[in-house]
Amino acid sequence: MKLGQLIVSGIAASVLSFGALAQEQQSQPQREPGQRAPGGPREGGGGFGMGGRQLSPERAAAAWNLQATGVAGRLGLNAEQTKALVSAYVAARQSHNAEADKLRQEAMQRREEGGGPEGMREIMTKLQELDKSQRESLEKSLTGAIGADAAAKAIPSLGLFSRQWDNLTDVFSTFKLDSAKQQAGLNAIEEFATTSGAAQLRARAARGPDGGGEGGPDREAMRAAAQESRQKLLAAMQPILNKEQLTKLEESMGGGGRGPGAGGRRQGGGS
């Protein structure tokens, strides 16, 4: 089997695993942030790629609200602008989730029908197109709500549609910090999410459209960059969190030292 086919087959398994994950979550109670499932990983475990365990609708909405509020605080928006940003972002995440769920169902159906690598490539292309269109739509909404300059500063993170950002925010929200510490922590998590997202885009570009780009991504460099980002986040959190909180946040990040996306999925397909 050619290298490109091996990679595409791996991508297909990754896409389909989220359909199985959704079915598993429907049959299991939602756990507390960072709580380990019996015999399984903690919620939100895995490297900080675009993926991660999907939260319940209520907790996901709370995480999105907090993410957007943190971005608004970083940008120095007023109360009216903050409300508009939160509204636009939550609506975008809900829309993206609904469309991504349809693609996951399509991927599962194709697997059941014996679809090959070409079908999975098509699904991945659709996911990328979905990410792009939803990101453009969100940027347009943000531009109307908070102005072009602020929107341009907000979209690199808000346009990630990242479940791993959701999971870290979900855990962080349980710490009940004062406003200054909460804003500092949200800024650090946002920077981590944005840096990791950029690393995944570079890795995807190195793979090429068929997953078999010349040379492919430098995996050792990816691991080193992921570890550096992880340590930078933990260092930023040390003045903010106590030892117990820091440990809980670190555990929710999963094992360190893996490349971007380890244990998770690509950008966008499941916010």
> Could you give the CA distance from residue 81 to residue 187 in angstroms, rounded to a whole number?
18
Other Cβ atoms closer than 10 A to 119:
18
pLDDT at 254: 72
| Helix, coil or strand: residue 36 | strand
The pTM score is: 0.73
> Could you give the CA distance from residue 169 to residue 59 in angstroms, rounded to a whole number?
10
pLDDT at 185: 98
pLDDT at 216: 55
Which residues, other chains included, contact 151 with Cβ-Cβ below 8 Å and sequence gap of 6+? 139, 142, 143, 145
**Residues of the chain under the 50 pLDDT cut:** 1-28, 36-49, 257-271
pLDDT (tens digit per residue) in 127-180: 889 999 999 999 999 999 999 999 999 999 999 999 989 999 999 999 999 999
